[in-house]
A and B are shown apart, each in its own frame.
Chain A
Amino acid sequence: MNAITDQATRAAVSVTGLRKAYGEKVVLEGVDLTIREGEIFALLGPNGAGKTTIVRILSTLIPADAGTATIMGYDVRGEAGAVRAVIGVTGQFSAVDDLLTGEENLLLIGRLLHLPATVRRERAFELLERFDLVDAARQTPATFSGGMKRRLDLAMTLMGRPRLIFLDEPTTGLDPRSRQTMWQIIRELVREGVTILLTTQYLDEADRLADRIAVLDHGHIVAEGTPEELKRRMPGAHIRLRFTDAASLAEAARELPESTRDDEQLVLRMPYERGIRSLRDMVARLGDDVAVEDLSIHTPDLDDVFFAVTGNVPKEETR
């Protein structure tokens, strides 16, 4: 088989030149993306970068101004019906019906999918079990925790057995344990052969879950690759030294001319070569009089990548 066709048929999502503006405000400025079947692809970016807009276009909710997008080979514009049959969307805002019980919510979706009665009861039962929602089956979401609501939301998405799932910030606002549960669920889905497009503003989430990451900033994709590839783009590891006062900083900077200096934070960054020797040498050069408050070894993570490619300070995790 021709290699190019082979690759093309295995693309779950294929996007070229996607543009979208709301009046004067340009949200997407020509986005290209390819997501392979069976992978978790993370769109990483700060609020307002255009992540949700991409999801809304790909899930047929809004039209793009320009560019093409296909899902499993179907055009999102011209073949919206076929696209809807293969996708599932769990959005940023909970789409559960607060007046229906957990089970009724699932059965409602089953009806709207025109599943036969026995099939929708079976699937609802399976999903309630799998997502630890059996106790919630006969209760309305008003009594649910945030994590339970999110799980029910995802279970509703899975009623139709979609081949591609959009998860728009699936763990935003969840406590750490619910977040872990959600990650586990997402990994299981991919093992079953589902393709996932995940949007997130959390670097560690993309790092832990995604096979490939695209960093989105102001409507542009500014970097793309596996988490490792992105990290490899970064300069090597460094030692970070923090001092108690400016005098110590100045003296240490004289002793360690190869370091870079941050006067505001009273910090020096030294290139770090693996092994204890370089560390011992550095400490010896510093001498006894310099007041070092803190020393840490810093290996590049996605925060650095993000900072390097966008020039933005990533969102602090407050959880």
Chain B
Amino acid sequence: MSTLTALSFAAEDSATMLGRELKHSVRLLRLLIVSAILVPVVMLLLFDYILGRTIGHGLGSAARGAPYVDFLVPGILILTVAGSCGPTAINVTLDMTGGFVDRIRTMAVTRGSLLAGHVGGSVLRTLVATTAITGVALLVGFRPKASVAGWLAVVGIVAAFSFALAWLSAAIGLVSKSVAGANGSTLPLQFLLPFLSSTFVPVDSMPAGVRWFAANQPFTAVVDSLRALLTGTPAGNTPYVALAWCAAIALVAYLWAQASFRRT
């Protein structure tokens, strides 16, 4: 087989797997709306209406005079991206523990197309969910001041972060022996790391021990760059730091996933 045919088969197989993944998403639409959209929306409303006034007062100069919701929305978007880790890992584990992966392994299907389909599906689902959540945020008073280029950069960073976390989740799904294990292993990504970052409050307000970690971990770089872009304040080099994190996570997770896929 020539390299060109191999490449076109790889593209075709990945597209087939992506199509399968999207069909799955449509079949599980109600479940997905709840987990990927409603949960983040409830978090948005809780933090904004219930906790927002107190947190807003405490923000001081970090809010730059804007209401807490403007500070909060970038964090909620990243929480949404992180929330997709569970379902992505679970989907991969389901394929691995069922007979599907053995079937395609005994066929001349391009290696890696299955994971590519999962990752692609995860990114697309996340983009739909974050768009819907941005719409709700606008309804409850979110007033972004981003330029068109700023919006494009926001979409790019959300997609890149989603891509990186999707590969990481796929790798976790590959090494997990059960669905419960797959979900459990992604919980630090879904909850712990977002809270230990500038998702809800600025890292300066955190205790000294946590502060260093929070200031230097990828979630903070991603949230800070989204926040700067959306509020139209100077972002400095944070977007580049964020993209570098995304690239590094995606690369390491990709290699981990490929190695685990070969081993199993």
B-contact bits for A190-205, CB 8 A (1 contact / 0 none): 0000000000000000
Would you call A112 and B104 a contact (CB within 8 A)? Answer: yes
Given A99-B27, A100-B20, A111-B16; A61-B104 close (CB under 8 Å): no
The SS class assigned to the B binding surface is helix
A-contact bits for B80-105, CB 8 A (1 contact / 0 none): 00000000000000000011101111
Interface status of A113 (Cβ within 8 A of chain B): yes
Would you call A84 and B98 a contact (CB within 8 A)? Answer: no
What CA separation (Å) do A99 and B91 show in the bound complex? 12
Would you call B16 and A112 a contact (CB within 8 A)? Answer: yes
What CA separation (Å) do A32 and B24 show in the bound complex? 43
From B28, B103, B107, B108, A91 is in contact (CB under 8 Å) with B103
Would you call B24 and A85 a contact (CB within 8 A)? Answer: no
Interface size of A in residues (CB-CB distance below 8 Å): 29
From A85, A93, A111, B99 is in contact (CB under 8 Å) with A93
From B1, B12, B13, B106, A61 is in contact (CB under 8 Å) with B106
Would you call B12 and A114 a contact (CB within 8 A)? Answer: yes
Q: Write out the residue numbers on chain A whose beta carbons fall within 8 Å of the beta carbon of B28.
A: 99
What CA separation (Å) do A96 and B108 show in the bound complex? 18
Would you call A61 and B100 a contact (CB within 8 A)? Answer: no
Q: Which interface class (under 10, 10 to 19, 20 to 34, 35 or more) fits B?
A: 20 to 34
Q: Write out the residue numbers on chain A whose beta carbons fall within 8 Å of the beta carbon of B9.
A: 114
What CA separation (Å) do A160 and B104 show in the bound complex? 12
What CA separation (Å) do A59 and B106 show in the bound complex? 6
Interface status of A299 (Cβ within 8 A of chain B): no
What CA separation (Å) do A87 and B12 show in the bound complex? 21
What CA separation (Å) do A297 and B93 show in the bound complex? 53
Interface status of B145 (Cβ within 8 A of chain A): no
Would you call A94 and B107 a contact (CB within 8 A)? Answer: no
Q: Write out the residue numbers on chain B whose beta carbons fall within 8 Å of the beta carbon of A100.
A: 20, 23-24, 27
Interface status of B132 (Cβ within 8 A of chain A): no
Interface status of B127 (Cβ within 8 A of chain A): no
A-contact bits for B16-42, CB 8 A (1 contact / 0 none): 100110011001100000000000000
Would you call A60 and B98 a contact (CB within 8 A)? Answer: no
Q: Write out the residue numbers on chain A whose beta carbons fall within 8 Å of the beta carbon of B20.
A: 97, 100, 108
Interface status of A95 (Cβ within 8 A of chain B): yes
Would you call A61 and B102 a contact (CB within 8 A)? Answer: yes
Given A99-B24, A112-B13; A87-B106 close (CB under 8 Å): yes
Q: How far is the CB of A172 from chain B (nearest CB, A)?
A: 13
Q: How far is the CB of B11 from chain A (nearest CB, A)?
A: 12
Interface status of B179 (Cβ within 8 A of chain A): no
Q: Write out the residue numbers on chain A whose beta carbons fall within 8 Å of the beta carbon of B108.
A: 81, 84-85, 113
Q: How far is the CB of B103 from chain A (nearest CB, A)?
A: 4
Chain B contacts to A: CB under 8 angstroms: 1, 9, 12-13, 16, 19-20, 23-24, 27-28, 98-100, 102-109
Given A61-B102, A88-B106, A157-B103, 5 other A-B residues pairs in contact with their CB atoms under 8 A: A85-B108, A95-B102, A99-B27, A100-B27, A160-B107
Instruction: Identify 23 residue pairs between A and B in the complex whose beta-carbon atoms are under 8 Å apart, listed by A's number.
Output: A60-B105, A61-B106, A84-B106, A84-B108, A85-B108, A89-B102, A91-B102, A91-B103, A93-B99, A94-B99, A95-B103, A99-B24, A99-B27, A99-B28, A100-B20, A100-B23, A104-B23, A111-B12, A112-B13, A113-B108, A114-B9, A153-B99, A157-B103
10 tightest Cβ-Cβ pairs between the two chains A and B: A95-B99, A95-B103, A93-B99, A111-B16, A89-B106, A59-B106, A84-B108, A99-B27, A99-B24, A112-B109
